[in-house]
Amino acid sequence: MVDTFCPIPWIFQAVRSNGDVRVCCQANITKNRGVLRKPDGTAYNAGVDSLEESRNSQLIREIRTNMLNGVWADECQRCKQEEESGLNSRRTYESEQWKFSIEDARGVTDVEGTIDVAGTPLQYMDLRFGNLCNLACRMCGPTDSSYWYDDWVSLTNTTEFKDTSGIVQLERDGNRFKTSAYDWHVFDNFWNFLETNLHQLEHVYMAGGEPLLIDRHYQFLQKCIDTGAAKNIRLEYNTNCTTLPSRVLNMWKQFKQVRVGASVDGMGDVLEYQRYPAKWSKVLKNLKTLSEQPDNIVVWLAYTVTAYNVFHMIDFMRWKLTEANLTGINVTKRRPILTHHVAHNPKHLNIRVLPDEVKAQVDVKFNQFVQWVKDSNYPEHVVDAAESICSGVLSYMHGDSYYDEHFDYFRTYTSKLDAIRGQSITNVVPELKDYF
């Protein structure tokens, strides 16, 4: 039987930036975006609906029965693709992290996939307190970043965009646009649920938007501290590292552990292009501060691989090994260089969109880097990591081709956004100059 089991559908709950409850963030590549829906087809929303009830929604029950029968559910296709490419998927990562096994799952799950939610504690949550953000990353959009609104209107000539609960309408507020569609966390429903379940939580993952900018995030941390729950909770973040308030560093000291995935996809112009309008000097300063934190704070570089920065990935890894002096970041044998994931969506920024001749250049650069690591007498675990990272990215890149279907839009989208932002792809990725 194929190993498809993951503890997520039993012990975990995820909330999107608009409050809709979903299976996990990996399911975002599916048509339904992994959202758990009520019998009438509307999404369970953490602001107003029963989160206990959502744990036995139809979709999550189907996923559980599929996993127990060795079947890949549609919502799990991202993990399936990554594992087939030799990448470390979230399924394998979570299975290593949690003691909840397939035998445990069988013991608490009936034939329809239903569990007793009171008898199967919620140990792990993914919380996104809205979409407030100070960046408009190119692989992102207005559903995950409020900073995208103005560029979205300029790019698409519309004040509307689609999210998992329907069409979101932007309204002009002075010189900028706004919407209240991401204010789910102002309602008491979620906070009452959290109060009830806080004592059993072991791990809380937070992204955004940018979580370190969101006031509700600090209210959550304070609640954990005030109730005494903090000492039993591991916090995990994805942060763009453009801000690092002293108050969060002080609050983190109260928690069992804090894991920080620094969403940094390169140096200098490459970072500032992909994660507009970030400033590399400020990000680097915050990385150095993170590198010097106490042992309960574990930090790694979370590199999102796109068609914009796949060439630069090698330069970035070489910098990390030779010049960065970030001695407190990616220090474990499991993650000695960086932690990466490929951007599956949007497809026009996926590395599979690149022309074959460009992919061949990527092959050469990645293979040369692996040889350089070997020749430089790095420890075995660093060599193994370099081989694993490079082989996984290359295998994924060559797995399918999105060139015929999406490359024209890659050029159109890039050129339009360059014009809006006063940037140029050919300055950042000279390997693509012949295509623009």
pLDDT tens for each residue of 217-259: 999 999 999 999 999 999 999 999 999 999 999 999 999 999 9
Name the pairing type of β-strands 297-305 and 203-206: unpaired
Residues 6+ apart with CB under 8 A from 241: 262, 263, 264, 283, 286, 287, 290
pTM as predicted: 0.90
Q: CA 258 → CA 90, 152, 329, distances in Å?
A: 19, 34, 13
Phi-psi region of 241 (alpha: psi -120 to 50; beta: other; left: phi over 0): left
Give the span between the Cα atoms of 178 and 244, in whole angstroms. Answer: 25
Element (H, E) at 380: helix 380-397
Q: 265-306: per-residue pLDDT in tens?
A: 999 999 999 999 999 999 999 999 999 999 999 999 999 999
Q: 424 falls in which pLDDT band (50, 70, 90)?
A: very high
Two tokens at 205?
């993952």
Query: Which residues are CB-neighbours of 175 under 8 A, at least 6 positions away?
Result: none
Cα 158–chain centre separation:
27
Residue owning tokens 């799950």? 109
Banded model confidence at residue 153, pLDDT cuts 50, 70, 90: very high
Residue 140 and residue 31 in contact, taking contact as beta carbons nearer than 8 Å: no
Tell which wins on pLDDT, 134 or 29: 134
For residue 316, pLDDT beyond 90: yes
- Report CA torsion sign: 228, 232, 238, 239: positive
- When the pLDDT of each residue in the chain is averaged and rounded to a whole number, the result is 94
Quickly tell me which residue has 């960086």 as its tokens: 338
Residue type present at position 245: P
SS3 38: coil
- The backbone region for 330, taken as left when phi is positive above 0, alpha when psi lies in -120 to 50, beta otherwise, is left
What is the per-residue pLDDT for 196? 87
pLDDT in tens, 325-351: 999 999 988 889 999 999 999 999 999
Q: Is 394 helix (H, G, I), strand (E, B) or coil?
A: helix
CA quadruple 419, 424, 425, 431: dihedral sign: positive
Helix (H, G, I), strand (E, B) or coil at 297: strand
Phi, psi of 129 (to 5 degrees): -80, 65
d(CA 436, CA 370): 30
Question: Six-digit token pair at 235?
Answer: 């916090």
The band of 1, judged by pLDDT with boundaries at 50, 70 and 90, is: low
